[in-house]
Structure 1
Amino acid sequence: MLFTLPQQSSDTGLRERFHRRSLEHQRPLSTVTMAFTVVAFLCVVAARGLADGPAAPLVYRLGCAFVLALLVLAIPHAKSTWTFGAIGVAFSLALLGGVALNVAGVQQPLLWTLPAMVVIPVCAAPLWLTPTHFFVGSALFYAAAIPMLLGAQRTADVDIVVWMWIAAVGMPTSVVFHFGFYSFRRNHYLLENQLAQLAATDPLTGLQNRRAFVAQAERRLADVAHGAPVSAIFVDIDNFKSLNDRFGHAVGDLALHQVAQVLMEGTGASESVSRIGGEEFAVLLCDGLAGALRLAERLRGAIAAIERPDGNLTASFGVAEHRSGESIMVLLDRADEALLRAKHSGRNRVCAERPLPDAPLQLLIEDACGVDGAASSRHRWEDYYLTSHFQPLFSLSHQKQVGFEALLRGELDDGTLLPPAVLFAPKPSGDEGVLDRASHAVHLANARRSLPAGDWLFLNILPATFVAEGYAGQLAAIVRRVGLAPEQVILEILESRGGSVDEMSRVATSYREHGFLIAVDDFGAGQSNLDRLLRIRPDIVKLDGELIRATGHGTGQPILPKLVSLLHQAGMLVVVEGVETTEELILAVESNVDFAQGYLLGRPAAEIAPPGSVHLRIDDAFDVIAQGRAHQHALFESEVEPYRSALREAADALRSGVDMDRAFALVATFERCISCFILDDAGRQVGHEVQGPAGLTEGASLHPVANPRDARWDHRPYYRNAVLLPGVAIASNPYLSLASGRPCIAVTLALQFADERWVIGVELDWSAHGLPWPAGE
């Protein structure tokens, strides 16, 4: 709800909250101070034994110390300010009683009592939580202490000194101490409270920000009674970007503020309202789905009455009800999915994340997975049938078929296939998770009839379905019911909104315990990223088909080999999708891809067919690579050999004492030469660089790192390989030069002089298209 900063110090609610907060702060301080007082009292008891005169029984005085110690132990258990104050009053009176017992029988009691009358109220003053406690405690203390002072006969000047210390020093000092500390604590609390509210408030609308909303929602879900309804509403202003673009951000800010006012006025004190970010708002309320839908509809109508320069504002709403055991982020994800359906179905409407009745899904599962077996591969769903098409996957190294991806299809009564856009179109009142679960039953039932023994079945699964509570066990039961083993099934998590990465990472363990393998689909597209893979830790990664065609900037070389190597190092097998040409198959083989899928290897079909001659096509790709590797090596060597020869001549010249410029004169005239250099034992440059023609070409703007003399290069492969083979001219693999920002090759040679070793080299510009690269690069 809207936050307001406290304006009046007399606000009862604020004062109570401050006192409760002070209780938390004062409890440890009071415990330590009062415990020290008990020790001081015991010292007074010991000192009394050294004084003349009859003393009260020691057991009484020690009993008083015991009572004080019990009151100290009670402080950590004080749950209310009044209990805390009562303990303080009891402690001060018990302490006063102990003083009375100790001074009984001494010849000059005033020397014992007067310091206690002054020190005890002053030391206790900062510990009283409230002024009421202070006044009550102090009044009771003095009411019990003053009779002790009045009972003794004293001269007039002594009486003046006694009352001066009590009335002029003790009482005022305790008042100053108490109200000084009380004011300090209160100001600190107000500042702390103000900062906390500012940190939790969206400055434009005055609503909670996302962080505060999520924190409050988590506390509410933790405290809510089991089975009590809680719902979330996601709100998004329609066409808000056009409002900013056409009329300016001031108009957009005004619209956000007006929508926030509508949400605040349309909800009660028990609802939480937040601006999640941008033009998105969220409401959390303690009500079921039906009540949340009614509230959302009222809010939608109120927002539609807000004017904007070109008409009226509208907003789309998504509503979801909390399910037992799920986190606030999963609830918000489902509300967000419902909001997307509202957007897709025309905006300015309310959509519920409401699953279809269980009956159709249960009937389909019984039909598809019944013990008597389903004769038909089609299964009724709404006004059409669901069926399966299977596309094969091949192991490139084994050159054989190892599994099939099951793809859902919709068929009309006459066998006509529904377009995917119709089959998977968002439905305002539907739950795509139900269709997802239905597809699993259909695929498993259809696969059991013809899936080759030992082959994998890849099942697509939405993130929201994947994290649904208890689904791992339900799916395992269906798999076993149709006669398959979970170890044969690979769950392929689709690239889709819904389901947090944290939830998927946690739930993946339960699927693995049942025997399922986990795959992540379409890596390299949409929201897929490396962080998602490293947290879910799938067994298999399916690369988006576009990655097989992606090339490095400026080189034209494919990036697939490096990407596959990275995933292998992370412990994941790799499937490349979308293999449609022989060239793409050859690249997949050359890149060490584990499995391939695509139209070149097999199209989706209703029946699982034998692999035919696909293994020969893969074998041909291996032959092409083997033949091409030798040819590629020959081309590369022929291109690099002149530089090797010229570098060897430069080495001979340097040994004979020729200076750098003359030694490198020949190689520095070659077309691709960027520069010639000498490195010492530590990999640092010796002398200057001898520039070549390619070094004069303008490269990328890398001026802060363009000077190689500031760097150390002994970590580079071209340096290490030269040192391992002294006297041999070594050509490196292409690398991106830090100095020029271009793909380069270094030809290096290690020279051993009498007292030192040099590595001489020439850096070549390898950025031109058509240049041969080493085999395997």
Structure 2
Amino acid sequence: MAFTVVAFLCFVGARNMVDGPATPLGYRLACALVLALLVMAIPRTGSTWTFGAIGVAYSLVLVVGLALNVSGVEQPLLWVLPAMVVIPVCAAPLWLTPLHFFVGSALFYGAAFALLLGGQRAHDVDIVVWMWILAIGLPTSIVFHFGFYRFRRNHFLLESQLAQLAATDPLTGLQNRRAFVKQGERRLEIMTPEERVSAIFLDIDSFKSLNDRFGHAIGDHALYQVAQVLMEETSADDSVSRIGGEEFAVLLRDGLAGALALAERLRGAIAAIERPDGYLTASFGVAEHRSGESIMVLLDRADEALLRAKHSGRNRVCAERALPIEPLHMLAGDAFAEDGALVRQHRWEDYFLTSHFQPLYSLSHQKQVGFEALLRGEENDGTLVPPVVLFAPKPSSDEGALDRASHAVHLANARKSLPGDAWLFLNILPATFVAEGYADQLAMIVRAVGLEPERVILEILESHGGSVDDMSRAAALYREHGFLIAVDDFGAGQSNLDRLLRIRPDIVKLDGELIRATGHGTEQPILPKLVSLLHLAGMLVVVEGVETTEELILAVESNVDFAQGFLLGRPAAEIAPPDSVHRRIDDAFDVIAQGRAHQYALFESEVEPYRTALRRAADALIAGGSMGEAFAFLATFERCISCFILDDSGRQVGLEVRGPAWSADGASLQPVANPRDARWDHRPYFRNAVLLPGVAVASNPYLSLASGRPCVAVTLAVQVAAERSVIGVELDWSVVGLPWPAGE
């Protein structure tokens, strides 16, 4: 077509070489300009109909240009006839469809015939003209058009099939990832500011087990069924894709709420698909497009939500993380009322957030040393929102947003309520704790309310959301600002010694159940030993859940540093005077002081007969008696497991003499059940006897390696046959109700 424009310009130039009246040159050049503009418009056409319309217009303008050029010549037929034959033949391959060809050709010939019929010609000239047009030009153009049309149609069909294969997942018939991303990019480019677009990512749960246990044919069928559910539940405007493996994606024209509703429908529909061992389930992540972001960023946010759905139990829908709130904004403007009084509430969803404070007491100082800030929700009428509602996971919100909001609320309220020398314990989720930049931000908030970070103890909750390495690195950043670190609920969930030793908290809060935990078969509390272990690791200890006087006494006796619980103070919006609690703690110390001597006396009275009998056995051994003779009397005592002699290196001499409490029931300990194979000079009962020669000493209860039971050893260091020996008796101390030494 561009060549035709050049030919038309040559035609204009040739016409100017012929004498006679002619149409003004400007009109003829205007035709050439219009033809050139139509040619340039062709690459921008978006459909075959537009292309065809341009072709028809081009033909008509070309006829007008021919008419203007031949105006005033003596033999116009000589000028026009070649064009009328050649133009349709050359243009025939350019028409995209037969309809375009017939319409364009009819209009071209119609205009040309009107031009030809305007003059008088000889009969033989008319025959020649019609022969050239009907016998040569028109048939040739028809042959050319349909020949090229068939070739072009097959070519286009092949291209279409290849494009379809390149954009389609062969198993499910859905778009593949590449086509999905391209379509998403185009959609985001043309979307209007008020339009909303969301993405849904879903992953079939435990899909690998389906393939591994039942074969890939079953797995492929499951993928096909999921694809059918997606096609049935989505609309024609939505883009649906199999991203890869068992992952699918949906891009829809709707906001976050609509996308969450669709995801829930899809989750329910997929849960109805049977698999050989039950039903399929899928996890979903949903995100709404934010202004200026690319399709890949949108999909990454949906994928992050999908991972949270997987990690929080599968078969659920999770929304994108909300944009981080700015806690400083919560403190600015609405933190104080007009009279300067502190506003204790902040609006959140359908209720208000407020703070309740529960005191922590130093047992040694017998006073309040800190307060744990606990988040509460209040309705408009002041009634409290149930915790199951306040902290219920919501797919459309981010629990981290509530966590950060609680810090602003607590700090604003603590500014007025907290005594001047008390700590504020702030609960913080691991995900918030390790969030980049939050240490700096929280330090700014603390100082903005008039506190210092040294008065704030960050209490890391027992929850998912951060690796131990990340928390250890984050703890160092918080300590640079002066914050103290505590770990909550040690002994429950994921809390373990490795976590403590890596994070190195200043304070460890023991789960309330640990105060009630006892040793197997003895009903003796394990709290004292656990507190001793944590102190050895350089950590102060808080015991939570103190609800009875007996538990308070145990906490004091176990050397716990701080205590918290309903007995010492319930969470409340206002801090209560601590006088009655001081007296209660002081009473606990008195009970322990009074009971310590009594406990000691009970224990001593229980072991004294064994001391006397052991000294009697020592005299018999020194006098040259055999072990059997020397220990005969002692071996008759009810609690006697065995009597033994250890040499100077702690190895057993001869066979032990067994007593009534000896038992062969500890079969599981059989490899270590023979005490003669071991060396015992590292045991306290051996060392204490050597330090006090000639004195019968009783050990604290310990777990016997030989019998697997709690035992007490009574030992005595004596000289037997010119060699130092330690003789002793091991007593069964597993019977419930036996006195234990004070402090154990």
Q: TM-score, normalised by structure 2?
A: 0.64
Q: After TM superposition, list the pairs within 5 Å mapping 1:13-162 onto structure 2.
A: none
Q: CA deviation at 1:378?
A: 1.6
Match of 2:308 among 311, 325, 337: 337
Match of 2:693 among 697, 721, 726: 726
Q: Is the Cα–Cα contact under 8 Å of residues 369 and 441 in structure 1 kept in the other structure?
A: no
AA in 2 matched with 1:561: P
Residue 462 in structure 1 maps to residue 443 in structure 2: no
Return the index of the structure with the highest Cα Rg.
Answer: 2
Q: CA deviation at 1:510?
A: 0.7
Match of 1:744 among 688, 701, 711: 711
Q: In the aligned structure 2, how far is the partner of 1:254 from the partner of 1:619?
A: 73
AA in 2 matched with 1:410: G
Q: CA deviation at 1:260?
A: 7.3
Structure 1: any 5+ residue segments left out of the alignment? 1-230, 275-280
Q: Helix, strand or coil: the match of 1:607? A: coil
Residue 584 in structure 1 maps to residue 551 in structure 2: yes
Q: CA deviation at 1:351?
A: 2.5
Residue 676 in structure 1 maps to residue 643 in structure 2: yes
AA in 2 matched with 1:530: L
Match of 1:756 among 711, 723, 730: 723
Residue 626 in structure 1 maps to residue 597 in structure 2: no
Q: Helix, strand or coil: the match of 2:541? A: strand
Give the corresponding residue for 1:570.
Answer: 537
Q: In the aligned structure 1, how far is the partner of 2:457 from the partner of 2:200?
A: 33
Match of 2:462 among 473, 495, 500: 495
Q: After TM superposition, list the pairs within 5 Å mapping 1:355-394 onto structure 2.
A: 355=322, 358=325, 364-367=330-333, 369=335, 375-394=342-361
Q: In the aligned structure 1, how far is the partner of 2:278 from the partner of 2:657?
A: 70
Q: In the aligned structure 1, how far is the partner of 2:217 from the partner of 2:263?
A: 21
Q: Is the Cα–Cα contact under 8 Å of residues 639 and 732 in structure 2 kept in the other structure?
A: yes
Give the corresponding residue for 1:18.
Answer: none
Q: In the aligned structure 2, how far is the partner of 1:514 from the partner of 1:707?
A: 57
Q: Is the Cα–Cα contact under 8 Å of residues 283 and 309 in structure 2 kept in the other structure?
A: no
Q: Is the Cα–Cα contact under 8 Å of residues 683 and 712 in structure 1 kept in the other structure?
A: yes
Q: Helix, strand or coil: the match of 2:532? A: helix
Match of 2:575 among 608, 616, 622: 608
Q: Helix, strand or coil: the match of 1:453? A: coil
* Residues 160-211 of structure 1, C-alpha deviations (whole Å, 9 max, x = no match): xxxxxxxxxxxxxxxxxxxxxxxxxxxxxxxxxxxxxxxxxxxxxxxxxxxx
Match of 1:479 among 421, 435, 446: 446
Q: In the aligned structure 2, how far is the partner of 1:311 from the partner of 1:689?
A: 61
Q: Helix, strand or coil: the match of 1:491? A: strand
Q: Is the Cα–Cα contact under 8 Å of residues 464 and 498 in structure 1 kept in the other structure?
A: yes
Q: CA deviation at 1:314?
A: 3.1
Q: After TM superposition, list the pairs within 5 Å mapping 1:296-695 onto structure 2.
A: 307-308=274-275, 313-318=280-285, 335-339=306-310, 347=315, 350-355=317-322, 358=325, 364-367=330-333, 369=335, 375-695=342-662
Q: 1:453 to 1:298 in 2, by over 3 A?
A: closer
Q: Is the Cα–Cα contact under 8 Å of residues 490 and 516 in structure 1 kept in the other structure?
A: yes
Q: In the aligned structure 1, how far is the partner of 2:688 from the partner of 2:348?
A: 65
Q: In the aligned structure 1, how far is the partner of 2:302 from the partner of 2:628?
A: 71
Q: After TM superposition, list the pairs within 5 Å mapping 1:252-267 onto structure 2.
A: none
Q: 1:234 to 1:403 in 2, by over 3 A?
A: farther
Q: Is the Cα–Cα contact under 8 Å of residues 351 and 377 in structure 2 kept in the other structure?
A: yes
Q: Helix, strand or coil: the match of 2:671? A: helix
Give the corresponding residue for 1:182.
Answer: none
Give the corresponding residue for 1:108.
Answer: none
Q: CA deviation at 1:382?
A: 1.7
Identity of aligned residues (%): 74
Q: Is the Cα–Cα contact under 8 Å of residues 301 and 320 in structure 2 kept in the other structure?
A: no
Give the corresponding residue for 2:115.
Answer: none
Q: In the aligned structure 2, how far is the partner of 1:300 from the partner of 1:405?
A: 40
Q: In the aligned structure 2, how far is the partner of 1:430 from the partner of 1:481?
A: 27
Q: Is the Cα–Cα contact under 8 Å of residues 696 and 715 in structure 2 kept in the other structure?
A: yes
495-504 or 385-394: which moved more?
495-504
Q: 1:571 to 1:362 in 2, by over 3 A?
A: closer
Q: In the aligned structure 2, how far is the partner of 1:282 from the partner of 1:322?
A: 18
Q: CA deviation at 1:570?
A: 1.0
Q: Helix, strand or coil: the match of 2:662? A: helix
Structure 2: any 5+ residue segments left out of the alignment? 1-198, 231-238
Q: In the aligned structure 2, how far is the partner of 1:293 from the partner of 1:576?
A: 42
AA in 2 matched with 1:466: F
Q: 1:611 to 1:333 in 2, by over 3 A?
A: farther
Q: 1:617 to 1:308 in 2, by over 3 A?
A: same
Q: 1:583 to 1:357 in 2, by over 3 A?
A: closer
Q: CA deviation at 1:356?
A: 5.5
Q: 1:662 to 1:536 in 2, by over 3 A?
A: same
Q: Is the Cα–Cα contact under 8 Å of residues 264 and 273 in structure 1 kept in the other structure?
A: no
Q: In the aligned structure 2, how far is the partner of 1:766 from the partner of 1:307?
A: 58
Q: CA deviation at 1:537?
A: 1.0
AA in 1 matched with 2:449: V
Q: In the aligned structure 1, how far is the partner of 2:648 from the partner of 2:282?
A: 69
Q: Is the Cα–Cα contact under 8 Å of residues 523 and 543 in structure 1 kept in the other structure?
A: yes
Q: How many residues align?
A: 528
Q: Is the Cα–Cα contact under 8 Å of residues 337 and 353 in structure 1 kept in the other structure?
A: no
AA in 1 matched with 2:576: A
Q: Is the Cα–Cα contact under 8 Å of residues 222 and 275 in structure 2 kept in the other structure?
A: no
Q: TM-score, normalised by structure 1?
A: 0.61
Q: CA deviation at 1:428?
A: 1.0
Q: In the aligned structure 2, how far is the partner of 1:755 from the partner of 1:332?
A: 80
Q: CA deviation at 1:626?
A: 1.0
Q: In the aligned structure 1, how far is the partner of 2:424 from the partner of 2:599?
A: 39
Q: Is the Cα–Cα contact under 8 Å of residues 548 and 567 in structure 2 kept in the other structure?
A: yes
Q: 1:558 to 1:713 in 2, by over 3 A?
A: same
Q: CA deviation at 1:682?
A: 1.2
Q: 1:638 to 1:376 in 2, by over 3 A?
A: same
Q: 1:561 to 1:305 in 2, by over 3 A?
A: closer
Residue 237 in structure 1 maps to residue 205 in structure 2: yes
Give the corresponding residue for 2:119.
Answer: none
Q: In the aligned structure 2, how far is the partner of 1:535 from the partner of 1:282?
A: 39
Q: Is the Cα–Cα contact under 8 Å of residues 364 and 380 in structure 1 kept in the other structure?
A: no
Q: Is the Cα–Cα contact under 8 Å of residues 462 and 496 in structure 1 kept in the other structure?
A: yes
AA in 2 matched with 1:438: A
Q: Is the Cα–Cα contact under 8 Å of residues 742 and 767 in structure 1 kept in the other structure?
A: yes
Give the superposed CA RMSD: 4.1
Residue 701 in structure 1 maps to residue 692 in structure 2: no
AA in 1 matched with 2:484: L
Q: 1:415 to 1:539 in 2, by over 3 A?
A: same
Q: 1:413 to 1:471 in 2, by over 3 A?
A: same
Q: 1:257 to 1:512 in 2, by over 3 A?
A: farther
* Residues 444-495 of structure 1, C-alpha deviations (whole Å, 9 max, x = no match): 1111112111100001111111111111111111111111111110011111
Give the corresponding residue for 2:146.
Answer: none
514-523 or 607-616: which moved more?
607-616
Q: Is the Cα–Cα contact under 8 Å of residues 393 and 405 in structure 1 kept in the other structure?
A: yes
